[in-house]
Structure 1
Amino acid sequence: MYTFFESPIQTVNHPLLTARKIHLSIKRDDLIHPQISGNKWRKLKFNLDAMKQQRKSELLTFGGAFSNHIHATATAGKLFGFKTHGIIRGPELDEANPTLNYAKQCGMSLHPVNRITYRSRHDQTYLAKLQKQFPNAYILPEGGTNAAALLGCKELAQSLPSCDVLVCPTGSGGTLAGLIEGMPEHTQLLGVAVLKQAHYLIEEIKQLSNKAMLQQNWQLLCDFHDGGYGKFSDTLWQFCQTFTKQHAIPLEPIYSGKMLYAVWQLIEQGYFSEGTRIIAVHTGGLQGLDGLKYRRLIN
């Protein structure tokens, strides 16, 4: 069993929270490990066990050029001593890209493919071809989301103290699905979609989690994407910087920053009743800040 220490929970104090009588805590999963943090570790943990059980000595997965998942998988390979392969949405590798550069330093073999080929990443024929090409590889979907990943996110849910509302950022839906599996039915779960037109994820989450299919205690909020995946406004980035300074909790504007800004707006709008205890899951991904600086999207 691969394991790291359990991350702390940090209470946030702010006049807005006091005025609205809201208790807000952050599950600091960004502190699990310096390089394999947040939901990326949660999703990898049980997949690494499955890889071992299947007697595979390599791991192959998929991601974009600035992918947190590629970064975390490459680190895991270096740390635990197995070969990793990244099928990168291309068509070419940018040698100066900080995420890909780091992955290469960790020993990951990078295989750029054009966007048409990359769209086949869920296609069984394409996956069978890859398995033939890499016979020793355990193939993990983009973002690390599969049944084994849900076990790690379920474990996270079961480690939390009682709360009224649990919130997480939502990209592929795996983290939210796993949290639904692990949380009691009286807890309200909110996923903040970080991409545009994310309503399709509702069905995907139901496919991933039986409890999501049966229970009504969860919701996907689709109006806080701030322009779409990887996009963010000056206002959101300002919120992230201010929050980081005030509470010593670093945020990036793609996942956890977007989620917390949504929570903040909902509190301001009176969405939560007085006395509500909220836990927001910081899903890590801070390595993404280097990519944003590299692209001159932030200073």
Structure 2
Amino acid sequence: MLSLEDFKTSLTLPSPVEPFFPKWKGAEKVSLFVKRDDAIHPIMSGNKWRKLSNALPPSLPKAIVSFGGGFSNHLHALGFICFKLGIPFTAIIRGDYSATPSPMIKDLIQWQTHIEYVDRITYKKRSDSAYLNELKLQFPDAIIIPEGGSQAQALQGIKDLVDEIEVDFDFIVAPVASGATLAGIINALNKRNRTTATDFRSLHKVIGIGVLKGEGYLEGLVQKFLPISKHQTSWHIDHNYHFGGYAKAPNELQTFCNDFNDNMEFKIEPVYSGKAFWAVKDMLAKGKFEDRSRIVVLHTGGLQGAR
């Protein structure tokens, strides 16, 4: 059992920002960088740690409850943290995997997680106040962390990510599913723009890559975390690269990820990072970025989900 501070010493922070030189059409006209949050830790990597880092107070909770699917990167990261810190953890999982547990669930079992499988109707109530009150009665000593770790405390962890980027840039590109990571990036840049921007052209721009079908829905998830700002960072979500929906990975995307992993110095997976890097490749080929643009692609980790 570790203290929270001892656990943090096992993490690679700040995560590296590396130049990226793919042989893609149009890549030679811009400067590409990758924010390697996948390198934070070999088991618990990426934006899941960022979103959880400020949800855990120094005086650790007596128990934690959270939600996710059968391959959830969030539950995987949280289960590992709770195991290392000695916090009893309950994972409420959509669908019954008891007969055929996924690799993620096998890890949770190894990490002594208490698992409750629920049907889709029950899982849809995960944000309903009445259902959450029932859980508080069932787990009176626990804190309840939303699906994906998407809560107000997550924004500070994402701000830390942005503050670590010391290279000058024009764009950040990041995959979007629950909205908190993108909102955290926008909020951090709003604060930076307020103190450093001198004209509109100097403002950073954020492009979210929707990894699931959700035009309008994803924007709403982001907006609920954003305070009103006079220095609003320019941002939008591109919905052209979800490949049919969340965790949908047709052959062309699988082939892209496999080729990428064979030729690059780091790996991607088809649920999040693969769609983000595919999007950047396609946008470069279509001339969506001005020449000499400086682009940071956020690698949000989650390689375990590709198992």
TM-score, normalized by length of structure 2?
0.89
Task: Establish whether residue 178 from structure 1 lines up as the match of residue 184 from structure 2.
Answer: yes
The amino acid of 2:19's aligned partner reads T
Structure 1, 216-225 or 86-95: larger mean CA deviation: 86-95
Pick aligned residue for 2:35 from 11, 24, 27:
27
Task: Establish whether residue 163 from structure 1 lines up as the match of residue 169 from structure 2.
Answer: yes
Task: Establish whether residue 8 from structure 1 lines up as the match of residue 8 from structure 2.
Answer: no
Task: Establish whether residue 191 from structure 1 lines up as the match of residue 197 from structure 2.
Answer: no
Evaluate the alpha carbon distance shift between residue 213 and residue 103 of structure 1 in structure 2; reply closer, same or farther with a 3 A threshold: farther
Q: How does 1:1-299 map to 2 (within 5 A)?
A: 2=5, 3=8, 4=11, 5-16=13-24, 20-49=28-57, 52=58, 56-161=61-166, 162-183=168-189, 184-185=192-193, 186-210=203-227, 215-290=232-307
**Deviations 1:139-170 (Å, cap 9, x if unpaired)?**
00000000011110111111112210001100
Cα distance in 2 between the residues matched to 1:70 and 1:216:
31
The amino acid of 2:248's aligned partner reads K
Cα distance in 1 between the residues matched to 2:232 and 2:214:
23
Cα distance in 2 between the residues matched to 1:134 and 1:213:
42
Q: Deviation of residue 56 (structure 1)?
A: 2.6
Equivalent residues of 1:17, 1:24 under 8 A apart: no
The amino acid of 1:237's aligned partner reads Q
Q: Deviation of residue 197 (structure 1)?
A: 2.6
Cα distance in 2 between the residues matched to 1:180 and 1:216:
6
Task: Mark the runs of 5 or more structure 1 residues left unpaired by the alignment.
Answer: 291-299
Equivalent residues of 2:27, 2:284 under 8 A apart: no
1:210 alignment partner, SS class: coil
Equivalent residues of 2:26, 2:284 under 8 A apart: no
Evaluate the alpha carbon distance shift between residue 47 and residue 232 of structure 1 in structure 2; reply closer, same or farther with a 3 A threshold: same
Equivalent residues of 2:55, 2:154 under 8 A apart: yes
Cα distance in 2 between the residues matched to 1:19 and 1:116:
46
Structure 1, 207-216 or 34-43: larger mean CA deviation: 207-216
The amino acid of 1:14's aligned partner reads P
The structure in which a higher percent of residues are helix is 1
Q: Deviation of residue 211 (structure 1)?
A: 5.2
Q: Deviation of residue 22 (structure 1)?
A: 0.9
1:121 alignment partner, SS class: coil
Equivalent residues of 1:43, 1:148 under 8 A apart: yes
Q: Deviation of residue 207 (structure 1)?
A: 1.2
Cα distance in 2 between the residues matched to 1:143 and 1:90:
17
Task: Mark the runs of 5 or more structure 2 residues left unpaired by the alignment.
Answer: 194-202
TM-score, normalized by length of structure 1?
0.91
Evaluate the alpha carbon distance shift between residue 94 and residue 160 of structure 1 in structure 2; reply closer, same or farther with a 3 A threshold: farther
Cα distance in 1 between the residues matched to 2:228 and 2:72:
29
Aligned match of 1:295: none
Evaluate the alpha carbon distance shift between residue 139 and residue 105 of structure 1 in structure 2; reply closer, same or farther with a 3 A threshold: same
The amino acid of 2:55's aligned partner reads N
Cα distance in 2 between the residues matched to 1:214 and 1:232:
37
Cα distance in 2 between the residues matched to 1:205 and 1:13:
31
Equivalent residues of 1:150, 1:177 under 8 A apart: yes
2:112 alignment partner, SS class: coil
Runs of 4+ in 1 over 6 A off after TM superposition: none
Aligned match of 1:297: none
Equivalent residues of 1:91, 1:115 under 8 A apart: no
**Deviations 1:21-69 (Å, cap 9, x if unpaired)?**
11111111011011111000001110112xx55x631110000011111
The amino acid of 1:23's aligned partner reads S
Evaluate the alpha carbon distance shift between residue 180 and residue 19 of structure 1 in structure 2; reply closer, same or farther with a 3 A threshold: closer
